[in-house]
Amino acid sequence: MKQPTLKLKDELDSHALATASLESLYRIFTVPEAPNSTLGAIDKEISDNLMGFLGDRIVARERSLTAIEEDFSNPQIPEVPQFVSDYTDFVLDKLVAHSVHTSAPGFIGHMATPIPYFMLPLSRIMVALNQNLVKIETSKAFTPLERQVLGMLHGLVYERDDVFYRENLHNSRRALGIFCSGGTTANLSALWVARNQMFRATSDFGGIAIEGLARSLKYKGYDDVAIVVSERGHYSLSKAADVLGLGRNNVISVKTDQNHKVDADAMRAKCVELQANNIGIIAIVGIGGATETGQVDPLDKLAAIAAEFNTHFHVDAAWGGPTLLSNTHKHVMASIELADSVTIDAHKQLYVPMGAGMVVFKDPTAIAAVEHHAEYILRAGSKDLGQYSIEGSRPGMAMLVHAAFHIIGRKGYEILIDQNIDKAKAFARMIDAQDDFELITDPELNILNYRYVPAEVQAKLEASSHQQQKVINEILDRANKRMQKQQRAGGKTFVSRTRFSQYKYGGEAVSVFRVVMGNPMTTLETLGAILEEQLDLATRKGTAEIIEEIAALSN
């Protein structure tokens, strides 16, 4: 065979490039931002003093959304490139200034946790490497790293022995979990696996993944399928039911007891009813730290029901899962190891930046139910993580979880989590000690609810009929909503609000404040100031008048 030669020279000569403008464009890839440039200075400012940057650069007072929208209203992609320094000025004035200081100690309304300093340079390494975890060819060591992180989380939940992890951790035919962009995708993935396992392939049926839901129901002879969960279940479960083709009506909502935990007897009764109606149960979902109240369902009882009805048991521990890292409090999550799958978010109580959720599976072969391949990647037998994930291309966020596990360690997390729970309980006692607040949920973990109810109104409520209570609560709802909006607009502190049924008031829903304790910098003084501000708002024009309405009601 002759030795081949290349005919390159001619090609090069004939290939005329528009070098002038191209060169200036090359610079954005090849010339670093100067340290004394606007962007370089901001970079240093954040690295040197993150809380200072956030505190100084985000303006505290609320600007109307309409005014902010003005700055983001041009629908044209700019024709001509802008100087980086000019763009940076825009970002600081128009974007950063009107962002939300989610890591302010007084921002206790949502599941937004502050990030440790080491996350900043590590995120830069992640962005710089720009790996794509869909496949080994674009991620290499990041793939084993992600599998290890999922294994660590699996170990936290299921505590299997070394032999188990040696056999499964890096086994191309097994997967201990799926790394996702967040808890919603993790819940969706878990229910996808549960649905597909229920309708798996047999000798005369290709399985739901291949044949679809309609044929699957026919094959199994079901009239429909359902997911059973507490009325406190996260909205992502209904969304998953929509996406998976099950329908939101088929998320069967079960009432909660006086402790805001699902009523296991009622749940079992629903399952009996579904079975009698020839409706297949895809999964029973337990909550490991409800989004609104923080309560943990009786997981042991739910596991028993799932076993009785031979269905998948999923636990949504997106928020509460890391409680397992605390020897002091992990008993609250007892029996979680009975779950077939568990969702835990890393961008919540693992203190990782936004964009990291995970679901782990008890059975490392369960995931085969959603396995898929493609010719150019994800070849069967490969270790490509994209074979199991609902997402395709995705970043190496697992690195930041790996870092947090090592740098904070189990003991470090224990301290953080214990503090969060202690503070929530202390705040509950502070609220209880106040005459003009009603504690709605006594925190089991670190989320709680309360509302403003002046002492006189509390007395009146207790003495009222159910119908009268309803009227009073409607007026209180208006007052509490108003206060929450004013406090948010004030920009100093933030609690969120929600609305859910109250066992105490015969199942009627009321509007309540919602507090999530996740910021180590939040102190009892911060919490005291939040209550002070609320009491001050309560006496202001508007709210005071609303409350007067209750006094004016005839008994």
**Rounded distance between C-alpha atoms, residue 400 and residue 127, angstroms:** 11
Instruction: Report, in Å, the least distance between residue 304 CB and its own copies.
Output: 28
Instruction: Report, in Å, the least distance between residue 301 CB and its own copies.
Output: 26
Kindly give the pairing relationship between strand 251-254 and strand 447-452.
unpaired
Instruction: Report, in Å, the least distance between residue 222 CB and its own copies.
Output: 9
- Our CB check for its own copies shows the closer of 81 and 506 to be 81
Q: In terms of Cα–Cα distance, which of 280, 259, 215, 110 is closest to 206?
A: 215
Instruction: Report, in Å, the least distance between residue 126 CB and its own copies.
Output: 9
- Our CB check for its own copies shows the closer of 57 and 301 to be 57
- Our CB check for its own copies shows the closer of 140 and 504 to be 140
**Rounded distance between C-alpha atoms, residue 122 and residue 186, angstroms:** 24
Instruction: Report, in Å, the least distance between residue 298 CB and its own copies.
Output: 23
Judge contact between 399 and 126, C-beta under 8 A: yes
Instruction: Report, in Å, the least distance between residue 515 CB and its own copies.
Output: 12
Judge contact between 178 and 146, C-beta under 8 A: no
3-state secondary structure of 13: helix
- Our CB check for its own copies shows the closer of 168 and 264 to be 168
- Our CB check for its own copies shows the closer of 181 and 469 to be 181
Q: In terms of Cα–Cα distance, which of 193, 437, 177 is closest to 312?
A: 193
Judge contact between 369 and 200, C-beta under 8 A: yes
- Our CB check for its own copies shows the closer of 142 and 361 to be 142
- Our CB check for its own copies shows the closer of 42 and 266 to be 42
Buried b (16+ CB within 10 A) or exposed e, 355-369: ebbbbbbbebebbbb
Instruction: Report, in Å, the least distance between residue 349 CB and its own copies.
Output: 13
Q: Give CA angle at 208 (204, 213), nearest 5°.
A: 115
- Our CB check for its own copies shows the closer of 15 and 331 to be 15
Instruction: Report, in Å, the least distance between residue 539 CB and its own copies.
Output: 7
Residue appearing with tokens 């606007």:
38
**Rounded distance between C-alpha atoms, residue 343 and residue 233, angstroms:** 13
Judge contact between 353 and 403, C-beta under 8 A: no
**Rounded distance between C-alpha atoms, residue 314 and residue 251, angstroms:** 14
In 9-118, which residue ranges form alpha helices assigned H by DSSP? 9-14, 19-30, 38-48, 50-57, 65-70, 84-90
Instruction: Report, in Å, the least distance between residue 361 CB and its own copies.
Output: 15
Instruction: Report, in Å, the least distance between residue 311 CB and its own copies.
Output: 17
**Rounded distance between C-alpha atoms, residue 103 and residue 244, angstroms:** 35
- Our CB check for its own copies shows the closer of 429 and 466 to be 429
For the beta sheet containing 496-502, the strands, ordered from the edge strand earlier in sequence to the opposite edge, are 437-441, 447-452, 508-516, 496-502
- Our CB check for its own copies shows the closer of 147 and 301 to be 147
Judge contact between 111 and 129, C-beta under 8 A: no
